[in-house]
Amino acid sequence: MTVIAVVLVFGFFTYNAQVNMENRGIDFGYGFLSQESSFDVQFSLIEYDGSHSYFRAYLVGLLNTILVSVIGIIIATILGVIVGIARLSPNYLINKFAAFYVEFFRNIPLLLQIFFWYFAALRALPLPQDAEAMFGISFLTIKGLFVPAFIWQNFNIFFYSIIAAIIAIIVIRNRAKRVQETQGKQTPVLLISIGLILILPLLSFLIGGVRLSFEVPVLKQLATTSFIYEGGVSLPPELIALALSLSLYTATFIAECVRAGIQGVGKGQKEAAASIGLTQNQVLKLVVMPQALRIIIPPTTNQYLNLTKNSSLAAAIAYPDLVLVFAGTALMQTGKAIEIVSITMFTYLSLSISISLFMNWYNNKIAITEK
C-alpha cells in the first residue's frame, strides 16, 4: 500500500515535470555530460581545463568536496577529542576554556563563521611581497599558502617500504595479543611500531635509491604592486578558510559527544578497574574508552555527515566544490537544471550513505559481542 502511494506520487511529479518541460520547450537528457565545458576551475586535484567535458568538471567538484570533507573530518575529530577530554579536566582554566570554545563556536551560524574566516582573515593576511617565510620555505599570504613541493625519485620503493612497515606492525600486534592471552607477557608494541615505521622508509633512502628534493616557491613580479609565488604547491585561501571553519564548528559537537561518552561510563567501572591494580592509563585504555566509544560513535557519525553536507556552503567563498562547479557554473552554462540538481543530490546521498556504512561497520566492530 505504502509502496503504491510512493510510486504514484513520484509518477505524478515525473509526469508533471515532463508536461511542463515540454510546454516550455526544454529538452531532458544527460548527453551534455560529454560536451566540452569551456570554463576553467581555480583548484583541481585532477588535470582539468575548459577543453575537458562536463563530466570531468563534475569529478573535479566531487573530488574537491571530498578533499575538504576529509581534511575537515580529520581536524574536527582530533580537536573534538582534545576539547572533549579537556572539558572533563579537573584543571579549572582548561575546563572553562574548553567550555567557552564549545559554547562560542557552536552557537554562531556556520555561514557567518565561513565569511569571518575568509574575509576577516583574508584582510589580515599579508600580500605575497610582504609575507614572512615560515621555516624559510613556506609563505602564508592573501593569495594562499605556498609550500614546497616534494620531488621524488623512485617514489614507489618508498611507498612499498611504508606498506611493508604497516603490514609488519599488524602482524606484530596480533602476535603480541596472542602472547599476552596465552602467556600473560606484554610486548612494547607501540615502541616497536614507531621504530618500524621510521626505520623501513629510512632504509629505502639509504639502500633503495629513493631521493627527495624540495621545490621552494619563489616570488615573481606580475606588475608594479602585484606578486605571486611560483613553483611548489599552493593551497588556495578558500580551501583553508573553509576547512578551518568547518572543523572548528563541527569539533564543538564532537567534543560534546566525547564528553557524553566518557561521562556515560559508570564511575564504578573505573573504581573496579583501579581496585584490581590497573594503572591510570590502562583504566582509560582498557576499561573506559572501549565502552565510551560505543556511545561516541553513532552521534559522531551524524557530525561527519553534517560536515560533508555543510561543505556545500563553499559556494559563498569561491571554493570550487561540487555545488559551485557543477550545480553552479555547469548548470548555468547548460540550463539542465533538473538533470544537474538530480545528479548533485544523488551524489551527496551516496557520499552520506558511504560515510554511514563505514561508521556502522566500525561501530559493529567495537560493539560488545555477547557470548
Partner 1 sequence: MFKYLKQLTSLVAMVAVLFTFTTESMAAKKSKTLKNTQKKGFVRCGVSQGLPGFSNADAAGNWTGVDVDVCRAVAAAVLGDANKVKFTPLSAKERFTALTSGEIDILSRNTTWTLSRDADIGLTFVGVNFYDGQGFMVRKSSGITSTSQFKNGISACTNIGTTTELNMRDFFNSRGISYEPVAFEKADEVVAAYDAGRCDTYTTDKSGLAAQRTKMKNPDEHIVLPETISKEPLGPVVRQGDSVWEDIVRWSLNTMIEAEEYGITSANADSMKTSDNPQIKRLVGAEGEMGAAFGLDNEWNLRIIKQVGNYGESYKRNIADTGILPDRGPNELWTKGGILYVPPSR
Q: Name which position in 315, 347, 352, 359 contacts partner 1 (CB under 8 A).
A: 315
Q: What is the CA radius of gyration of the chain?
A: 26
Q: DSSP state, 53?
A: B
Residue 268: all three cell numbers together: 564504578
Interaction between residue 225 and partner 1 (CB under 8 A): yes
Residue 74 or 337: which CB sits closer to partner 1?
337
Q: Name which position in 158, 328, 344, 355 contacts partner 1 (CB under 8 A).
A: 328
H-run or E-run covering 354: helix 337-366
CA distance 292 to 284: 10
Using alpha carbons only, give the angle 100, 316, 144 rounded to the nearest 5 degrees.
80
Site string for partner 1, 48-87 (x = CB under 8 A): --x-------------------------------------
Site size with partner 1, rule: CB under 8 A: 42
Q: Which of 364, 71, 370 is closest to 245 using CA atoms? A: 71
Interaction between residue 7 and partner 1 (CB under 8 A): no
CA distance 46 to 130: 31
Residue 244 or 305: which CB sits closer to partner 1?
244
Interaction between residue 38 and partner 1 (CB under 8 A): yes
- The residue assigned the cell 551534455 is 32
Choose the stretch contacting partner 1; rule: CB under 8 A; options: 38-46, 65-73, 167-175, 265-273: 38-46
Interaction between residue 119 and partner 1 (CB under 8 A): yes
Interaction between residue 19 and partner 1 (CB under 8 A): no
Interaction between residue 216 and partner 1 (CB under 8 A): no
Interaction between residue 228 and partner 1 (CB under 8 A): yes
Q: Which of 14, 364, 72 is closest to 246 using CA atoms? A: 72
Interaction between residue 110 and partner 1 (CB under 8 A): no
Interaction between residue 307 and partner 1 (CB under 8 A): no
Q: Name which position in 182, 224, 275, 281 contacts partner 1 (CB under 8 A).
A: 224
Residue 254 or 314: which CB sits closer to partner 1?
314
Q: Which of 95, 119, 74, 100 is closest to 251 using CA atoms? A: 74
Q: Name which position in 145, 324, 343, 351 contacts partner 1 (CB under 8 A).
A: 324
The amino acid at residue 37 is S
User: In this structure, are residues 120 and 130 in contact, taking their beta carbons and an 8 Å threshold?
Assistant: no
Residue 125 or 189: which CB sits closer to partner 1?
125
Q: Which of 250, 224, 361 is closest to 305 using CA atoms? A: 250
Residue 343: all three cell numbers together: 545528479
Q: Which of 64, 50, 58 is closest to 33 using CA atoms? A: 58
Choose the stretch contacting partner 1; rule: CB under 8 A; options: 88-96, 156-164, 216-224, 258-266: 216-224
- φ, ψ (nearest 5 deg) of residue 15: -60, -45
Q: Name which position in 108, 162, 337, 345 contacts partner 1 (CB under 8 A).
A: 337
Give contact residues for partner 1 (rule: CB under 8 A).
20, 23-26, 38-42, 50, 119, 122-123, 127, 142-143, 220, 222-226, 228, 230, 236-238, 315-318, 320, 324, 328-329, 331-335, 337
